[in-house]
Amino acid sequence: MADQVIDLRSDTVTRPTAAMRRAMAEAEVGDDVLGDDPTVNRLESRVAEIMGKEAAVFVPSGTMANQAAIRAQTEPGDEVIAHSDSHIINYETGAPAALSGVMVRTASGPCGLFDADQVESLHRPLSDHFPRSALVVVENTQNRGGGAIWPIVQVERVSRAARGLGLRLHLDGARLWNACAATGLAPKDYAQHFDTVSCCFSKGLGAPAGSCVSGNAATMARVHRFRKMLGGAMRQAGVLAAACLHALDHHRERLRDDHANAARLAAGLGAIPGVSIPMPVPTNMVFFEVERRLGTAAEVCERLRARGVLALPTGPQRVRAVCHLDVSAAMIERAIGLVGEVLAGRHAMAG
């Protein structure tokens, strides 16, 4: 359909497929606060097994997954080491400070990645004066880093350094599925290097809501308690868990299609005069920069919206476009053409 909106704002915008909705409608449910929801229990066991961990806890969102994991592994006044481009710092409304009372010490490096040397230099020795370094957070894939994939050897180095210093490690694996689809590695290959791992079903996997935190039984007992405290303990949550189980079974392989679409989108956009691609595109995210003479990122997104293409400005000149389940290869071709038309119009005016 020529007038269909092409929504590239995020991979969170997908709507459940007919088969997913059937799985939701048919889900066996119970009161999960009482531990009685068989579908939630099944999802938690399945995720624990996939991650190679003792247990998992189902939570409504990726934000709650990260924050419950941080809360469970820190004390107020502790310090968390994370990249300055990480989601927990930029997009979780200051929750580490508000909910856990922790400070964040930022690492830096290209595409949201950092290495063992930074863990060593940012870690603070035990002293009555210093905050206590407690936790390192890694994000894989790295959202603001262009959907960057952490090389497994770099994860190993960071983990070894952190553990050597007595720090715990959390993986924000909202899009760990994309990293695995791209590399062929299993989730547990990454997860083994972390004490806790969050993963989302509502991004590339296409479920309407739901994330899990996994780790050892003692830490998951704490996460379970904080889930309740944060208001995330749900009742007949099996209707959601059924969508997540369906996504695990049916939507992991196809992430490679999103990656191919993103590569094509980046190539097409990069060929438009005045557009550049600032970072590699290894998974499903494309960031592109527009020259100032073509307008700001926000203006370009407004003009695109009028033509039926939705994307998000993420900087003065930077736009994010994300490929997902509801975007076909044909829609990507149309989007490239429409961006070209919108910018060519402006180009002519600017010239």
Show the beta-strand stretches assigned E in 30-141. 55-59, 78-83, 103-107, 132-139
Among 87, 193, 246, 259, binds ligand TLP (CB under 6 A): 87
Among 7, 8, 10, 247, binds ligand TLP (CB under 6 A): 10
Neighbours of 237 (CB within 10 A): 26
By CB under 6 A, the residues from 298 to 337 that bind ligand TLP are none
Least distance in angstroms from the C-beta of 341 to ligand TLP: 26
Among 155, 174, 181, 325, binds ligand TLP (CB under 6 A): 174
| Burial classification of residue 281, based on how many CB atoms lie within 10 Å of its CB (0-12 exposed, 13-18 middle, 19 or more buried) | buried
28: amino acid identity, one letter: E
Among 172, 195, 258, 289, binds ligand TLP (CB under 6 A): 172
Q: Is 262 a residue that touches ligand TLP (CB under 6 A)?
A: no
Q: Is 143 a residue that touches ligand TLP (CB under 6 A)?
A: yes
x-marked contacts with ligand TLP along 90-129 as a string, rule CB under 6 A: -x--------------------------------------
Q: Cβ closer to ligand TLP: 96 or 343?
A: 96
By CB under 6 A, the residues from 15 to 74 that bind ligand TLP are 61-63, 66
Least distance in angstroms from the C-beta of 351 to ligand TLP: 35
Among 202, 219, 261, 283, binds ligand TLP (CB under 6 A): 202
Q: 184 and 213 in contact (C-beta within 8 Å)?
A: no
Of the candidates 168, 300, 271, the residue with the CA atom closest to the CA atom of residue 223: 168
Q: d(Cα 51, Cα 244) in Å, to the nearest integer?
A: 15
Q: Is 200 a residue that touches ligand TLP (CB under 6 A)?
A: yes
Show the beta-strand stretches assigned E in the chain. 6-7, 55-59, 78-83, 103-107, 132-139, 168-173, 196-200, 211-215, 275-276, 285-290, 309-310, 312-313, 318-322
Q: Cβ closer to ligand TLP: 37 or 172?
A: 172
Of the candidates 183, 333, 322, 318, the residue with the CA atom closest to the CA atom of residue 258: 322
Least distance in angstroms from the C-beta of 12 to ligand TLP: 5
218: amino acid identity, one letter: A
Least distance in angstroms from the C-beta of 177 to ligand TLP: 12
CA distances from 301 to 7, 218, 294, 309 (A): 11, 47, 11, 8
313 token code pair:
């400005």
Q: Is 139 a residue that touches ligand TLP (CB under 6 A)?
A: yes
Q: Cβ closer to ligand TLP: 226 or 346?
A: 226
Q: Cβ closer to ligand TLP: 91 or 130?
A: 91
| Contact residues for ligand TLP, defined by CB under 6 A | 10, 12, 61-63, 66, 87, 91, 139, 143, 172, 174, 200, 202, 211
